[in-house]
Structures are given as C-alpha cells and as structure tokens.
Amino acid sequence: MYMNGNLKVKRNIFLICFCFIFAAFLFGCAKQPMPAPIVLDGVSREMRSPGFWIAKIKKPDAVLLNGQEIEKLNSEFEENKLVNNLTKFGTSYFAGKNFGTSLKKTLAKYNKYKNEKLGAKNIKSALTKVSSNINFSSLNAPVAIQYGLAVKSSDLRIIPATIPLYSSKETEGLDRLQVTRLHLGEPLIVSYKTKDGKWFYVFAREAEGWMEASDIGFCNKETWNSLLKTNGAKTKTASDFVIVISAVADIYADEERTEFISYAQMGTRFTAEETKDNLVKIKMPSADNKGVLYFKEAFIGKGDISRGYLKYSRRNVLEQAFKYLNTPYGWGGQDDFLDCSSFIKNVFSCFGINLPRNSAAQIHSTSMMKNISFFKEDDEKSKGAKIMGKALEGASLLYFPGHIMLYIGQANHQPYAIHSIWGYRDKNDKNLYLINKTAVSGMNLGKNSKKGSLLERTSFIKNMSK
C-alpha cells in the first residue's frame, strides 16, 4: 500500500508550495522580523507548567485509548494512505514514467529560491551538479528494493543535496528542501540511488525522499521484518523495548557515561536488554564501513526512557508536551528541532500512536475519532466557546491549514494551546514577531492582523479519544 513515486513527488512539491503560500497567508510581507517577547501576552509563569493545566482536569489519569484501540487507529492511518505501509512493498519499485520529468521540474523550480550566503549564481551551479548526479535513465525502470534502518537521526530531502534554500529573505532559516527528520532506528525501504552512490530515494513510514547513504544500515529482508515488528506498534511484552520520553536523550558507549555516542529524540524506540543502576543497556543500530547494519551495546539513562509505551492519559500527554517548552522551531525537523506537526507527532508517539507527519494528515478523521468543525457564521467568541466546551484538555488538536496545536485548557475564560510556532503578525501586519520555539500561548495571538488570530483561523478540533 503505497503511492506511485511520481504522485508522491508531486505531492511533496504541492506541500512545499502550499506551505509557502500558507506562510504568506499567515505572515504577509514584513520589512524585518523582530523577536517576540520571551513570555507571550496573557501567559503567566504558572501557565508554563503542566501542573497548572493538569489540576483543572477532573480525571487526568483516566486511560483515553487502550493498546488494542491504538493499534486499530494506527492501522486506519495506513488504510487511509496517510502513512506508508512498508510491508506492502514488493521485491521491486517503479516510481512511474513521469518521475524523472517531475524531478527535473523540481530542480528548475528551486533555481528561483534564495540563499544569500551562496548567491544566485552558486545556487544555479549547485543545482546543476545535483541534476548531473541523478541517474535519470534508471528512474525509467523498476529497481530492486533494499531494506535498512536509519543509523542516526536523519534528514529526508526533496532533492539529493544538503544545501539549504529559502523562499524569501524574510523566511530565511526555513529550508524548503527539507521533507522531514527521521528518528534513529527508523525502518526504511530503499530504492533509487544517485550516480555517486551517496544518496538513496527511501520510504519511511511517515514520508519519502532522498537520504544520505551514510545514514543507512542495510540488512536482508528477514532481519528487517523482525526489526519492523520491534519498531512497530505491536509488541508481546512491555520489556521488549524502551521508548525515549525525554525531549532528547544522550546515548553512551560505557556504563560510566564518559564515551558519548549520539542522542535520540522523544519517541525513539530501542530493543532493551538489561537495567543497571540508573542505566538501561540497549541495542543501538549502526552501520559498518560497507553500510551493513549491525547493533552495538549502548547505554541510556533510566530516567530518559519508559519500558513499553506510556499510559495514554491527559496527564501524561501534557507532561510530555511541556518537556518541549522553549525547544527551538525547526522547519521539517531541520537541525533536530521541531515544527508544529513534528512536535505533535513526537509527543503522541510516546503512547504508541503513530500519527502522520504533516498537520493536514494529522487532523484527518478516523472511524474512532471525529473532527468537530465550525460554521461559517461562527465568530471569535463562539469559536472560543466551542473549543472550551467540546475540546479535551491535553487530548485535542486544534487545526487550521498549515498549523496544528495541542489544546491545554482555559484560563480567564480564554482557550490556550501549546505549539511549535515560528511567528505571528501584529495589528494590520505592521510587524512580524518571531517566536521560533515551542510555546504556550492564548488563541488571540495575531489578533487584529490581516488574517486574524489563531482562534479566528481555527477550522477543526480533533479529540484524540473515543
């Protein structure tokens, strides 16, 4: 169950174009971005603690979905083609006869993008080199698929290149070539490669794109199948795996924690072996100098992990979400930071909920969860009342095209959210203020701007419960 590669490339291009249009829609054209206040208006010191919001919930520890219900939800994401079902790939993959043509058009399109450090002439030269490195003739035929795991936190790219390109001077820092950031240990289907063999076109569960070969550990199908079960939602016992519940967890080669190896993001899974004092010994995926997957012994702090998934309750969701407070914003997960949808995805992954990667797919309805929409005549006051009356604190997503937030509750008769946000406009779009982090805010942020406040733009509520 996967999309034709040509359609996927078109979808990626569409999503990027859409996000660019959305950025213009959301932020308009400012002379020069300005830093937002460290603490946003209407947010007290207490509001920046999860306990403030948890105390407002009558039964914060009630289980919202059990393991079987979460497995059903994950299956529906695959059935609705919101994510890739990696087990449905055959022995070969063919992207489609128009894949190469679409890729050429994509490269031509990015000639118009910006990077002041490179300059227009060097951008064109760099993209020409990228184009010459793509084996376009191989894209016209099926290719035998390979299997692997990400052996580090890895970028998926629109084209096989690391150069960052921006849609405008104002949005410099939002690399439009970034698809997403994959967690360490993410299972992969590997297809086409570049002429120099340094890039592969890969499929992960959440997305597809070009990935550096050095980030992949290759294995046979039998090994991959057994690893996929370990990295999936289903597991026989809670002791089969551990999941990272800190925002970022350090990984060490030794029990004394003096030899740092790497780090892992919230939601990353590892096969667990044994617990020693305050450490847990894990199997860490790695690749040898020929790119062959192997596992090495490593150690991670006991406080950074959970054996098995966390219980899916509103207390736990809020506590996980607030661990990301003040984490820098990262478009498409660049630099291992968070955009709005990766923030939501990482938080809910701690409970075994494998949400899709982008915000539009995350808000998609399932048979278990229905969206609550608004009427055209709903004004700001009626929207606020509907959110505070029907959304679940710590278990509802608030969405408008291009942005998604976690509803955390109400204070002073106003709804509040925690979200990873880049910036907002003030009255009549006179100034653009950069927040550039995960923050608690009122829904009135951006009020009196040309496009309205967060509340005025909100179009859907999704309660992440039955």
Judgement on whether residues 187 and 200 belong to the same structural domain of the protein: yes
Query: Does residue 80 surpass a pLDDT of 90?
Result: yes
Residue 226 CB partners (closer than 8 Å, separation 6+): none
| Domain assignment present for 24 | no
| Domain assignment present for 1 | no
Q: Which contiguous run of DSSP H or E holds residue 76?
A: helix 67-79
Q: Which contiguous run of DSSP H or E holds residue 437?
A: strand 432-442
pLDDT at res. 460: 95
pLDDT at res. 239: 53
Q: What is the CATH number of the domain that holds 373?
A: 3.90.1720.10
Judgement on whether residues 167 and 103 belong to the same structural domain of the protein: yes
Judgement on whether residues 357 and 417 belong to the same structural domain of the protein: yes
Judgement on whether residues 192 and 105 belong to the same structural domain of the protein: yes
* pLDDT band, residue 31 (cuts 50/70/90): low
Cα 406 to Cα 76: distance, rounded to the nearest angstrom: 22
Judgement on whether residues 190 and 301 belong to the same structural domain of the protein: no
pLDDT tens-digit map of 394-452: 999 999 999 999 999 999 999 999 999 999 888 878 888 889 999 999 999 998 888 89
pLDDT tens-digit map of 277-335: 899 999 999 999 999 999 999 999 999 999 999 999 999 999 999 999 999 999 999 88
Q: What is the CATH number of the domain that holds 136?
A: 2.30.30.40
Asked if 455 contacts 398 with a C-beta cutoff of 8 angstroms, the reply is no
Cα 18 to Cα 402: distance, rounded to the nearest angstrom: 8
Cα 465 to Cα 353: distance, rounded to the nearest angstrom: 11
Asked if 457 contacts 380 with a C-beta cutoff of 8 angstroms, the reply is no
Indicate the pairing of strand 208-212 with strand 92-93: unpaired
Judgement on whether residues 322 and 451 belong to the same structural domain of the protein: yes
Asked if 404 contacts 371 with a C-beta cutoff of 8 angstroms, the reply is no
| Domain assignment present for 117 | yes
| Domain assignment present for 244 | yes
Judgement on whether residues 303 and 341 belong to the same structural domain of the protein: no
Judgement on whether residues 383 and 248 belong to the same structural domain of the protein: no
- Ranking 65-74, 177-186, 258-267, 360-369 by mean pLDDT, the lowest is 360-369
Cα 209 to Cα 133: distance, rounded to the nearest angstrom: 16
Structural domain total, the chain? 3
Establish how many alpha carbons lie within 13 A of residue 352's alpha carbon, considering only the half-sphere containing its beta carbon: 28
Of 218, 250, 266, the residue at which a domain comes to its end is: 218
| Domain assignment present for 4 | no
For residue 271, give both structure tokens. 């096969």
pLDDT tens-digit map of 116-155: 888 999 999 999 999 999 999 999 999 999 999 999 999 9
Domain that holds residue 251: 236-307
DSSP codes, 109-170? HGGG-B-TTT-HHHHHHHHHHHHHHS-GGGGGS-EE-EEEEESSSEEEESSS-----BSSST
Of 275, 290, 307, the residue at which a domain comes to its end is: 307
Asked if 183 contacts 265 with a C-beta cutoff of 8 angstroms, the reply is yes
What is the amino acid identity at position 344? I
Q: Which residue has the tokens 């929409």?
A: 373
* pLDDT band, residue 10 (cuts 50/70/90): very low
Query: Does residue 205 surpass a pLDDT of 80?
Result: yes
What is the amino acid identity at position 164? P
Judgement on whether residues 136 and 94 belong to the same structural domain of the protein: yes
Average pLDDT, the chain: 90
pLDDT at res. 217: 98
In the chain, the percentage of residues whose pLDDT exceeds 90 is 77
| CB-count exposure of residue 368 (10 Å: 0-12, 13-18, 19+) | middle
Judgement on whether residues 444 and 321 belong to the same structural domain of the protein: yes
DSSP codes, 235-298? -SSGGGEEEE-SSEEEEESSTTS-SEEEEEETT-EEEEEEEETTEEEEEEEEE-TT-BEEEEEE
For residue 177, give both structure tokens. 């070539």
* pLDDT band, residue 276 (cuts 50/70/90): confident
| Domain assignment present for 124 | yes
Residue 375 CB partners (closer than 8 Å, separation 6+): none
Of 218, 253, 271, the residue at which a domain comes to its end is: 218
For residue 122, give both structure tokens. 């060097």
| Domain assignment present for 26 | no
Asked if 384 contacts 415 with a C-beta cutoff of 8 angstroms, the reply is yes
Query: Does residue 230 surpass a pLDDT of 70?
Result: no
What is the amino acid identity at position 444? N
Cα 432 to Cα 425: distance, rounded to the nearest angstrom: 5
Judgement on whether residues 319 and 456 belong to the same structural domain of the protein: yes
Judgement on whether residues 145 and 256 belong to the same structural domain of the protein: no
| Domain assignment present for 227 | no
Q: Which residue has the tokens 């820092």?
A: 173
